[in-house]
Structure 1
Amino acid sequence: MHKIHILTKGFQSPNGIAFLFPFIVYRKELADCGIQTKFFTSIAHPKLCDCDVLFIESRSVSHRWEVEGDQAVLMDLSRLAESVPLVWFDISDSSGWLQPQVLPFVRWYCKGQLLKDKSLYMKKLYGNRLWADYYHQSFGATDSTPARNRVLTDPSRLGQLRLSWNSGLANYSMYGPHIMGLRRFIPINALFWLPKKFVPSNSERTVALSCRMGTKYERETVSYQRKKIQTLLKDRLSTRKLSRRAYYQEMRETRLVISPFGFGEITLKDFEATLCGATLLKPDMSHMETWPNLFVSGKTILTHSWDLSDFMEKLSMAYSCPHQLKTLAECAQQTYREELEKKTSEIGFCNRVVSIVHDTVSTIEPDAT
């Protein structure tokens, strides 16, 4: 049995909840695979390093980078690395925005979505996101306060980047996020359970299109795509947000749900729409890899180009190709259902954790200084 400790900020954000969720719901399955886990919220806890491998969730120290500076945080990581092998879990939203400064102190840098072309992590991208850089370079979108570039400078470190799991392993049913959020205040693991109900994609759908979204972001490069889509839709449908009940009711009746990028390529709407049996229309995602992967263009979702040149054409499929959309939604639901089910978790989530642990304990010491 391998003892894994997890340093986490806890159940304080959707990303944090989604990171911890599978460790709770698949706890028995992990134990059957020889993995025992325990959560810690303090880097100073005396028992933190009493384990075989220490997983560090990036949000557990995120508040310290700006306040204390890199050196203070890295000194703590160096101290921990002297006692136990470290694995870093970046739970930020996008495939970009690495924290390469931690790489000398950890065995693996795990992330739920990664750029397929890893060499891009060695280039300065405006806004630290590939699509933000695209909208800046191609259309002049500019942030009032540009993000600080974090660029990986040592190509040998690219081999430490590793795909983990995205936010999909959680409960995005109608009341799921509210119930999961209670775990922050009520330490009862029974608040976490897997969504069971998938609305059949072949049900009668009376709404062709849905696009409920916000457009107010502090970064223009993030909001640019959404604002352009909102403009294209202004004479077709409202993008105003609804109550959660009304939002879910609409998606259950919708054939095509438009889901632009936000701070990351993947949004919670993607999983909500899949549960509701709607087909997703998203910007091209061929630049990245993720798991669970519900984002295969032409197989599980529809995609449009980043410049939106084919956006209106793809919208028309909600009217002209309902049977094709039904097939895509069914495939997305089948993929999602298989990855969530406990009986298949051993070859999904559990296998990923076991592989990370095995590869960590079998590697040589990092060159932490």
Structure 2
Amino acid sequence: MSRRLVHIQTAGFATPNGRAFLMPLLLHSQLLLDAGIELKLFSAEYAKDDLPDCDYLIVDSKALSPRWAKGKDRILSEMQKNRSRAGALIFCDISDSASWDHAQILPFVDLYCKSQLLVDRSLYLQPLYGHRYYADYYHRFFGIKDDQNESSEPVSNPDDLKKLCLGWNSGLADYSLFGPLRMALYEKAPLKTLLRFPWNCKAPSVGRLMNASLRMGTNYSRRSVAFHRKHLADMLGSRLQTGKLSRLAYFRELSRSKLAVSPFGLGEITLRDFEVFLAGAMLVKPDMSHMETWPNFYVPGETFLSYKLDFSDFEVVLETALSDEHRLLEIAREGQLRYLAYVSGPEAGLLFVDHFKAILDRSIIRKGHD
């Protein structure tokens, strides 16, 4: 079997999204090697000429984040140079939102991987208020305005949309009770024993003492982003306590709750989604039909329940769910099973390797088209 060398430039475990980006690569590294894929990781600051001497160069978007404000032209020049030398250049955008962040980089890469993508790719050809699909929605239909009226940069060349590809989302990390602590320690002391995928879950069950949990922060700099959470707090504030808890108390509450509401934050997917799966509650989220992701943990009516972005059916969704405990448990169980299948199930490693191989193969195909 021929060996494929993959260099990855990354900001490391400094952020939750960075951890979810790297963990499956590190924990499945032997399976990847068995499949003929050899990985080498490089720091964000690494800029030597041998970086692109590989079959595939993958750049984690967080590795470039500190440099955009002062060095956009230099970044694009480096990307163009590296693309000419590497077999294929793949940019992995691991930001929270399915909407656009770095349209200017598309012409300089062979493949643009994103943790979640808008189903309607043509939306990337137009600006979205607040850099997000749902922020744009609340701006247009609820009149929400930010102090700084910013919109996403549209893609200028429709042909570049063919470079878009699903990477993997932030679910592939450790969100168990002590998981964030272990991952943070790994940033300081990179011992592989600190890394593990969660496997010990609280099974969905009858007799949970609380109907619902909704713990969230609402302090966002953009009103168009904060609006969703603040509106929920106004709707439920008299019935539910929404303030944050300690992590231990929060997990205890989730484990005693029949369902948990997980609103949008900086992106559609939040770390709370996976904590809810682990705690065995049923997940309730806003409508996510505008986006797709991998792994797809979000099948409405099957792994979670959704409500409309305008909140018009929110109360009905909650009341109906709580009135049919059998269906509620079925959805909670399926959500948990789907999550574990991709994280710590017996086929989880192979599922990731197959997905990663498909990304590499597609990058070469796209390079051949340019």
- Same-fold status (TM-score > 0.5): yes
Cα distance in 2 between the residues matched to 1:338 and 1:203 = 23
Is 2:361 the counterpart of 1:358?
yes
Question: Is the 8 Å Cα contact of residues 132 and 152 (structure 2) preserved in structure 1?
Answer: no
**Cα offset, 1:10, TM superposition:** 1.1
Is 2:24 the counterpart of 1:22?
yes
Match of 1:40 in 2: 42
Deviates more, 1:107-116 or 1:313-322: 313-322
Of residues 316, 338, 360, the one that matches 1:335 is 338
TM-score between both structures, scaled by the size of structure 2: 0.96
Question: Is the 8 Å Cα contact of residues 7 and 41 (structure 2) preserved in structure 1?
Answer: yes
Cα distance in 1 between the residues matched to 2:296 and 2:152 = 28
Is 2:108 the counterpart of 1:105?
yes
Cα distance in 1 between the residues matched to 2:197 and 2:181 = 14
Is 2:9 the counterpart of 1:2?
no
**Cα offset, 1:2, TM superposition:** 0.8
Spell out, residue by residue over 1:76-109, the C-alpha distance to the aligned partner (whole angstroms, 9 max, x if none): 1112112112100000001002312111121110
Letter in 1 for 2:52: C
Of residues 83, 87, 90, the one that matches 1:87 is 90
Of residues 162, 167, 172, the one that matches 1:169 is 172
Spell out, residue by residue over 1:290-336, the C-alpha distance to the aligned partner (whole angstroms, 9 max, x if none): 11112111111011111101111122135312221110011111111
**Cα offset, 1:148, TM superposition:** 4.5
Cα distance in 2 between the residues matched to 1:12 and 1:224 = 28
Change (3 A) 1:364 1:109: closer
Deviates more, 1:219-228 or 1:143-152: 143-152
Cα distance in 2 between the residues matched to 1:347 and 1:196 = 17
Match of 1:326 in 2: 329
- Aligned partner of residue 63 in structure 1, secondary structure: helix
Q: Cα RMSD (Å) of the superposition?
A: 1.5
Runs of 5+ in structure 1 lacking a partner? Answer: none
Question: Is the 8 Å Cα contact of residues 106 and 366 (structure 1) preserved in structure 2?
Answer: no
Cα distance in 1 between the residues matched to 2:128 and 2:363 = 30
- Aligned partner of residue 128 in structure 1, secondary structure: coil
Q: How many residues align?
A: 366
Cα distance in 2 between the residues matched to 1:363 and 1:152 = 17
Match of 2:215 in 1: 212
Match of 1:75 in 2: 77
- Aligned partner of residue 283 in structure 2, secondary structure: strand
Letter in 1 for 2:111: W
Of residues 189, 194, 213, the one that matches 1:191 is 194
Match of 2:14 in 1: 12
**Cα offset, 1:360, TM superposition:** 2.6
Is 2:321 the counterpart of 1:281?
no
Runs of 5+ in structure 2 lacking a partner? Answer: none
Match of 1:295 in 2: 298
Cα distance in 2 between the residues matched to 1:82 and 1:358 = 18
Of residues 112, 117, 124, the one that matches 1:114 is 117
Match of 1:134 in 2: 137
Spell out, residue by residue over 1:160-218, the C-alpha distance to the aligned partner (whole angstroms, 9 max, x if none): 10011100011110000111111111021221111111211125311101000000100
Question: Is the 8 Å Cα contact of residues 26 and 345 (structure 1) preserved in structure 2?
Answer: no
- Aligned partner of residue 356 in structure 1, secondary structure: helix
- Aligned partner of residue 11 in structure 1, secondary structure: helix
Of residues 37, 52, 56, the one that matches 1:53 is 56
**Cα offset, 1:37, TM superposition:** 0.8
Cα distance in 2 between the residues matched to 1:285 and 1:259 = 12
